[in-house]
Structure 1
Amino acid sequence: MRYGPAVRRRKLGAELRALRTHAGLTSGQAADRVGWHQSKVSRIETGRSSVKAADVRLLLEAYEVRDPRLRQLLVALAGSDDDGGRRHWWHAYRELLPPAYRDFISLESQACRMRTLETTVVPGLLQTPDYARAVTRAALDGLPEEQVDTLVEVRLARQDVLRAAPPLRLSVILDEAVLHRPVGGNHVLAGQLKRLLEAAQLPHVRLQVLPFAAGEHVGLIGSFVIFSFPNIADLDVVVLDHLTSSLYLERREDLQAYTDAFNSLQGKALSPEESTDHIAGIGDGA
């Protein structure tokens, strides 16, 4: 699987078509500028044909698109592991990482906002090394220790998006059960709870706990992630993780349903201030 499913490829084509129109070019004129047949431009714009990152760059030059973040995002949508000849950091791990995980990391690295409901474990962007190691061992039972170490290294490298300029804006809703599950043992959990309290102090991180007292709620459907991107709101995507694959939801009605669900859960969850107090209380008793 390339970067995102066919629906996402059609969205990339629609954005390129809009940029061509803004540049005042017909598809035939655009094709002439880059040395292609008009039918290739048409297939790309309708999503009937996949497009290489190098081709996207050619079109962006032809349309005189100069916004660096927009250029970077559209190039990434083409599914390349490079950006202007520069390899992304996760390319060094491509032999170990399955395509679905590379897709997820690419989404994460390009997003400006991430909203996530977690019902079983702490999200990867907030995990400590020991917690990440315990989760990896449990999820991939029997994996050689050397590969476990590499996957933990990848998970920690992903956390750089919280230290980028500008950083990823992260909103997390944690089911209370996550805070009591002794992943890696009580000592590891205690360290993880401390890490959550530290992360909650970051201005671009909003952390809320969904308490047991909330009773039944829409979050019982399971964990999900919503990615949002700069410049192009229509590229937002919901990601649902399964044991062996990930499902991408990009239809407008799906995005709206999960956005409404997340907003509803935020209303049922403790406030950020109440959540940190709650986490601290659990940590004191651990």
Structure 2
Amino acid sequence: MQHGPAVRRRKLGAELRALRTGAGLTSGEAARLVGWHQSKVSRIETGSSGAKPADVRSLLDAYGVGDPQLREVMLALAGLDDGAGRDHWWHAYRGVLPPTYRDFISLESQARAMRTLETTVVPGLLQTAEYARAVTRAALGGVSEERLDTLVEVRLTRQEVLRARPPLELDAVLDEAVLRREVGGPEVMARQLERLTEAARLPQVRLQVLPFTAGAHIGVTGPFVVFSFSSTSDLDVVVLDHLTSTLYLERKEDLRVYTEAFNALQANALSPEDSLEYIAAIGDGL
């Protein structure tokens, strides 16, 4: 388990190594092509050191990589902006957002699909401004109104990935507790449930509710997110968010376990159609 920057460096290095091998080059030959010492190529491939934008582009050019999506993912993993794809807007909030949150937004912005289990709060991509404000204030006791405004602004800007071209594909399983917890009070919660209903009707969103009647389930251990990327499954990553840290799991075994867990949760949850009715019924009760 590693934190965001480390896991991204390793993923970037592993993919660059695979591309070099696919191009039929040794690390020494690759180094000569770009005018480096072999040790620099090795450090980048093992993830022991980061790569500058020009370095990544030079290697991709040397390996004959012309696929724009693959190039975009490689540069995104390095935390870079190649001037293509979704805008890296979060860089403007460096003084406000912790590195782990910026890393999460970077992955979210570049991912093709996101699968999330939520057991306590509505996913950030589906929150209303009022709900986001209430839940952020509760999570960060004593936060100033100015910083709170900024964090809510960031939360809402993140939601642009659902309106991008192509949009992020979102699969969300919500424990019933998410819907019952009156964050911000009944009125705020009623509007939040309406927002969930609207979002669930989007073609790129699949929303399912796991009712209390489902009993204990594999998700009781806590929420998680699985990001998938267009170019290769080797770049997929699981994110576990804790009170003081965020962990990124990259091993194939971890990905397999969490993917199977999410599939099981979907199988035990209400169908998307029944989930809409369930959400509406809870909203009527408010």
Normalization by structure 1: what TM-score?
0.95
The aligned counterpart of 1:110 is 110
- Alpha carbons of 1:93 and 1:73: their partners in 2 closer, same or farther (altered >3 Å)? same
Q: Is the 8 A contact 2:125 2:155 kept in 1?
A: yes
Alignment of 1:1-286 (within 5 A): 4-80=4-80, 82-84=81-83, 88-286=88-286
1:35 aligned partner, one-letter code:
G
Q: Is the 8 A contact 2:5 2:103 kept in 1?
A: no
RMSD between superposed Cα atoms in Å: 1.7
Deviation at residue 49 of structure 1 after TM alignment: 2.7
Runs of 4+ deviating beyond 4 Å: 84-87
Distance 1:10 1:111 in 2: 17
Q: Is the 8 A contact 1:5 1:248 kept in 2?
A: no
Deviation at residue 83 of structure 1 after TM alignment: 2.8
Distance 2:3 2:66 in 1: 23
Distance 1:18 1:248 in 2: 21
Distance 1:85 1:282 in 2: 43
Distance 1:11 1:222 in 2: 25
Normalization by structure 2: what TM-score?
0.95
- Alpha carbons of 1:53 and 1:149: their partners in 2 closer, same or farther (altered >3 Å)? same
Fraction of identical pairs, as percent = 73
Q: Is the 8 A contact 2:118 2:175 kept in 1?
A: yes
Deviation at residue 10 of structure 1 after TM alignment: 2.6
Distance 1:101 1:7 in 2: 14
Deviation at residue 245 of structure 1 after TM alignment: 1.4
Deviation at residue 5 of structure 1 after TM alignment: 4.7
**Residues 171-208 of structure 1, C-alpha deviation per residue, up to 9 Å, x if partnerless?**
00000011111101100000000000000101110000
Deviation at residue 52 of structure 1 after TM alignment: 2.4
Q: What secondary structure is seen at the aligned counterpart in 2 of 1:209?
A: strand
Q: Is the 8 A contact 1:52 1:79 kept in 2?
A: no
Distance 1:113 1:192 in 2: 23
Distance 1:57 1:177 in 2: 46
Distance 1:13 1:259 in 2: 24
Distance 2:31 2:116 in 1: 41
Deviation at residue 3 of structure 1 after TM alignment: 7.9
More deviation, 218-227/26-35:
26-35
Distance 1:3 1:33 in 2: 32
Q: Is the 8 A contact 2:11 2:77 kept in 1?
A: no
1:96 aligned partner, one-letter code:
V
Q: How many residues align?
A: 284
Q: Which runs of 5+ in 1 are unaligned?
A: none
2:17 aligned partner, one-letter code:
R
Deviation at residue 7 of structure 1 after TM alignment: 4.3
1:162 aligned partner, one-letter code:
L
More deviation, 33-42/118-127:
33-42
Q: Is the 8 A contact 1:3 1:78 kept in 2?
A: no
Distance 1:266 1:276 in 2: 15
